[in-house]
Amino acid sequence: MNDLYLIYKNMTRKPLRLFLTCFAIFIAFLIFSAVTTLKSALDSGVDLAADDRLVVVNSINFTQPLPIAYYQKVAAIEGVKEVTHLNWFGGFYQDAKNQIITMAVEPESYLRVYNEVVVIPEQKSAWLQTRQGILIGRKLAETQGWKIGDKIPLSSNIFSHKDGGHSWEFVVSGIFDGVDENYDTRYAVFHYKYFMETQTFGGDWIGWMTLVTQDPSINQQVADVIDATFANSQAETDTSTEKAFNKAFIEQIGNIGLIIFGVVFMAFFTILIVVGNTMALAVRERTGEIAVLKTLGFSAPRVFGMVLVESLLVALIGGFLGLAMGWLIIEGAKSSMAQFLPNLAMGGDIVAQAVLYMILLGLVTGLVPAYNALRLNIITAFNRS
Amino acid sequence: MSQEALFELKQVEKSFVKGKETISIFNDLNMTIDRGDFLAIMGPSGSGKTTLLNMLGGVDQPSGGEIWFDGARMDNLSESKLTQWRAHNIGFIFQFYNLMPMLNAARNVELPLLLTRLSRSQRKRSVEAALALVGLSDRAKHMTSEMSGGQQQRVAIARAIVSDPKLILCDEPTGDLDRTTADEILEMLQLLNRDHGKTIVMVTHDPAAASYARQTVHLDKGKFVHKEVLA
Ligand SMILES: Nc1ncnc2c1ncn2[C@@H]1O[C@H](COP(=O)(O)OP(=O)(O)OP(=O)(O)O)[C@@H](O)[C@H]1O
Ligand SMILES: [Mg+2]
């Protein structure tokens, strides 16, 4: 037997109370780890967007299509230097969990607008000439183990192939790099024409357009002209900078994030009070026993430490279980969120932060009862009981 | 100071402050307790028996005077020194046993040994010996909450002697027990005194209990009023 055994016995003497306390802490850290991870994934998206590019989406919302005719109209607007159009494919490889960010694009204009995409000339021309060719990012190629010339079937979780099924056959024609380290190359692009000819959705339509203007200073003007051009038509547009677009998208979720953050804070605060009160109560019930320990010769600091370790243990047990559950949920959600949140992962910093909060929770809830045990006077304790 | 004396109290004063009043329990209390004695302290309720025992056990300190133990002054030790001193020198037995309900008998007995440097196997041996002495070897794994009062008090005695202290202090050790069980417990204390050389100081209301002691002192209004020497 040692002090730890005593602590363990004290902790588990009321199993239901221990369970409820740990469960409350479990919930708090589950919410905390999941929300913090979500928030950091959201925040990391904004930085990648360029400032001088404009995005044109359907004003209803960005998932609604636009007519292909808009592409030529926008290209003709004064001040527009380069424009390209993109369609979300919603691809995955073999397993629906293995999401691949894939877009159908108009190849030549795509490479002109996204000039941070770097591809060597031979591969570029190979891609432009191959109808089923797909251009993949370096990081994606590495994680999937794909090489030039590989035939890869990608499935869509949105569209059907006209020959039946949801699978499209592609040939890797090129592997691109980012112009710098920060550019996220975990995605792939293929020919819009191939997509339109083979999907069953019908019609000539595009998901959205991205364009660069002659000069960033005229961005607002150009955006206004574009939206005015399509006002009162069958599909009105909403034009904003890529950064603002990402930000608006994120802020929708961001506000929810803020609300959840408030909830987490409230939960933490409530749990702090509940757990603190429970600990104080549990120790007060043991007043007589603590007095006996002290009489036998257990020093005041030692008794103080035992109470503090007990509350720390409770916080760590509940906290780590919550953290583990949060991690499982994030891992489970990763693939289905990949298209919106490519950076969704619980980082070491979040784990460290959670552990820090667990320790803080344990210390704060244990400090008062531990101090009471430290100061407990043997004689008055015995007189009381 | 005599060679025999384990304890020596010199002009001990003790008073409590209650609000604006100061209640004086002892002023000028003098006594010696010899090594190997079995001393019973009797007296009416409120006469200060428990207070005296607490001072002897180092859980309370006198307001004045001196207490010497084994040739060293102890009333002026710091709280942490007194705590160590208690662990080394005193075994406590309480009226209501004061065992840890979440520990079994053997672990209750082992508790004071956590304050020593004994190895695990040495501790195990000491616990076994102490339990054997009180006749509870076969109950080592039992939870004390499922034991009778007499058995619990025997576990408490085992706990009090396991670290081999010089002195055992008992406050009404049989106050919660029936006559037969009380006699068993008292015989056990007597055995510890006679055969194991333990010095015992016992507070009791019960003259029958006091008859097991070598000496009985009567305390009233902060003074010893009467002293009987038995065996
Ligand atoms: N911590 C304290 N604060 C104030 N007064 C106290 C305190 N402890 C004891 N007293 C008072 O000191 C007096 C002696 O108390 P003590 O407990 O020593 O008596 P006792 O002889 O053990 O009585 P009993 O036979 O009822 O156990 C009582 O009047 C009691 O109220
Ligand atoms: Mg008393």
Distance from residue A307's CA to the centre of ligand 2 (Å): 30
Look at residue A325 in the predicted model and tell me its pLDDT. Answer: 96
Would an 8 Å CB–CB cutoff place B102 in contact with chain A?
Answer: yes
- Residues A13, B101: C-beta atoms closer than 8 Å: yes
Instruction: Identify which of A1, A295, A379 has the shortest CB distance to residue B107.
Output: A1
User: Which residue among B51, B96, B176 has the greatest number of ligand 1 atoms within 8 angstroms of its CB, and so is best to mutate?
Assistant: B51
By mean pLDDT, which of A35-39, A212-216, B79-83 is the weakest?
A35-39
Give the pTM.
0.72
Is residue B67 domain-resident?
Answer: no
What's the rounded mean pLDDT across residues A334-343? 69
By mean pLDDT, which of A334-348, B10-24, B175-189 is the weakest?
A334-348
Closest CA to B110 of B135, B84, B128: B128
The pair of three-digit structure tokens given for residue A287, joined into one six-digit string: 């007043």
Distance CA A255, CA A270 (A): 22
Look at residue A261 in the predicted model and tell me its pLDDT. Answer: 72
Q: Is B58 helix (H, G, I), strand (E, B) or coil?
A: coil
Query: CA B30 → CA B68, B214, B225, distances in Å?
Result: 11, 19, 12
Query: CA B135 → CA A138, B130, B197, distances in Å?
Result: 79, 9, 19
Q: Is B205 helix (H, G, I), strand (E, B) or coil?
A: coil
From chain B residues 49-68, the ones with a CB under 8 A of any chain A CB are: 54, 57, 59-60
Look at residue A56 in the predicted model and tell me its pLDDT. Answer: 93
Q: Which residue has the tokens 């010893």?
A: B224
- A375 pLDDT more than 70: yes
- Residues B79, A300: C-beta atoms closer than 8 Å: yes
Provide residues with CB under 6 Å of ligand 1: A 379-380, 383; B 16, 18, 23, 25, 43, 45-51
Task: Name the strand (E) or helix (H) holding B9.
Answer: strand B5-18
What does the mean pLDDT of chain A come to? 88
List, as one string, the DSSP characters of B62-76.
Answer: -SEEEEEETTEE-TT
Confidence of residue B18 (pLDDT cuts 50, 70, 90): confident
Neighbours of B195 (CB within 10 A): 9
Distance from residue B85's CA to the centre of ligand 2 (Å): 23
Nearest-atom number in ligand 1 for the CA of B52 is 18
Q: How far does B120 lie from chain A, in Å, by closest CA?
A: 8
Look at residue B209 in the predicted model and tell me its pLDDT. Answer: 95
The pair of three-digit structure tokens given for residue A203, joined into one six-digit string: 């019609």
Query: CA A378 → CA A294, A296, B157, B162, distances in Å?
Result: 7, 11, 20, 22
Look at residue B165 in the predicted model and tell me its pLDDT. Answer: 95
Is residue B12 domain-resident?
Answer: no
Look at residue B184 in the predicted model and tell me its pLDDT. Answer: 94
The tally of domains found in chain B comes to: 1
- Distant-in-sequence, close-in-space partners of B133: CB < 8 Å, separation ≥ 6: B158, B161, B192
Is residue B91 domain-resident?
Answer: yes
What's the rounded mean pLDDT across residues A64-84? 93
From chain B residues 157-176, the ones with a CB under 8 A of any chain A CB are: 159
- Distant-in-sequence, close-in-space partners of A241: CB < 8 Å, separation ≥ 6: A49, A51, A52, A53, A54, A55, A219
Nearest-CA residue for ligand 1 atom 9 is B51
- Residues B87, A297: C-beta atoms closer than 8 Å: yes
What one-letter code names the amino acid at A80?
V
Q: Which residue has the tokens 């060293």?
A: B72
- Residues A300, B112: C-beta atoms closer than 8 Å: no
Confidence of residue A51 (pLDDT cuts 50, 70, 90): low
Strands (E), B19-103: 21-34, 38-42, 64-69, 72-73, 90-93
* ipTM of this complex prediction, to 2 decimal places: 0.94
Q: Which residue of A has its CA nearest to B58?
A: A295
Nearest-atom number in ligand 1 for the CA of B205 is 25
Would an 8 Å CB–CB cutoff place B23 in contact with chain A?
Answer: no
- A366 pLDDT more than 90: yes
- Residues B60, A1: C-beta atoms closer than 8 Å: no
Look at residue A49 in the predicted model and tell me its pLDDT. Answer: 56
Q: How far does B196 lie from chain A, in Å, by closest CA?
A: 21
Is residue B201 domain-resident?
Answer: yes
Proximal ligand: closest to the CA of A379: 1
What one-letter code names the amino acid at A263?
V
Q: Is B6 helix (H, G, I), strand (E, B) or coil?
A: strand
Distance from residue B22's CA to the centre of ligand 1 (Å): 13
Distance CA B38, CA B19 (A): 38
**Three-class HEC string of chain A:** CCHHHHHHHHHCCCHHHHHHHHHHHHHHHHHHHHHHHHHHHHHHHHCCCCCCEEEEEECCCCCCCEECHHHHHHHHCCCEEEEEEEEECCEECCCCCCEEEEEEECHHHHHHHCCCEECCHHHHHHHHHCCCEEEEEHHHHHHHCCCCCCEEEEEECCCCECCCCCEEEEEEEEEEEECCCCCCCCEEEEEHHHHHHHECCCCCEECEEEEEECCHHHHHHHHHHHHHHCCCCCCCEEEEEHHHHHHHHHHHHHHHHHHHHHHHHHHHHHHHHHHHHHHHHHHHHCHHHHHHHHHHCCCHHHHHHHHHHHHHHHHHHHHHHHHHHHHHHHHHHHHHHCCCCCCCCCCHHHHHHHHHHHHHHHHHHHHHHHHHHHHCCHHHHHHHC
Would an 8 Å CB–CB cutoff place B128 in contact with chain A?
Answer: no
Nearest-CA residue for ligand 1 atom 27 is B45
Proximal ligand: closest to the CA of B42: 1
Instruction: Identify which of B60, B103, B111 has the shortest CB distance to residue A296.
Output: B111
Domain limits for position B43? 36-61+86-229
Contacts of B83 in chain A (CB under 8 A): 294, 297-300
What's the rounded mean pLDDT across residues A313-342? 86
- B223 pLDDT more than 60: yes
The pair of three-digit structure tokens given for residue A191, joined into one six-digit string: 């020919």
Instruction: Return the CATH number at B183.
Output: 3.40.50.300
By mean pLDDT, which of A143-147, A253-257, A297-301 is the weakest?
A253-257
Q: What is the largest CA-CA distance in chain B?
A: 54
pLDDT tens sequence across A122-175:
999 999 999 999 999 998 999 899 999 999 999 998 899 998 889 999 999 999
The pair of three-digit structure tokens given for residue A334, joined into one six-digit string: 């990763």
Distance from residue B46's CA to the centre of ligand 2 (Å): 7
In DSSP terms, A85 is beta-bridged to A209
Q: How far does A265 lie from chain B, in Å, by closest CA?
A: 36
**A99 close to A338: Cβ distance less than 8 angstroms:** yes
Look at residue B1 in the predicted model and tell me its pLDDT. Answer: 46
Distance CA B154, CA B131 (A): 8
pLDDT tens sequence across A56-72:
999 888 788 999 999 99
Nearest-atom number in ligand 1 for the CA of B47 is 21
Q: How far does B50 lie from chain A, in Å, by closest CA?
A: 10
**B64 close to B29: Cβ distance less than 8 angstroms:** no
Q: What is residue B164's DSSP assignment? A: -
**B189 close to B37: Cβ distance less than 8 angstroms:** no
Confidence of residue A251 (pLDDT cuts 50, 70, 90): low
How would you classify the pairing of strands B90-93 and B167-171? parallel
What does the mean pLDDT of chain B come to? 92
Instruction: Identify which of A2, A12, A288 has the shortest CB distance to residue B114.
Output: A2
Sign (positive or negative) of CA dihedral B91, B220, B208, B153: negative
The pair of three-digit structure tokens given for residue A360, joined into one six-digit string: 């803080």
Nearest-CA residue for ligand 1 atom 8 is B51
Is residue B30 domain-resident?
Answer: no
Would an 8 Å CB–CB cutoff place B84 in contact with chain A?
Answer: yes
Instruction: Identify which of B83, B92, B102 has the shortest CB distance to residue A299.
Output: B83
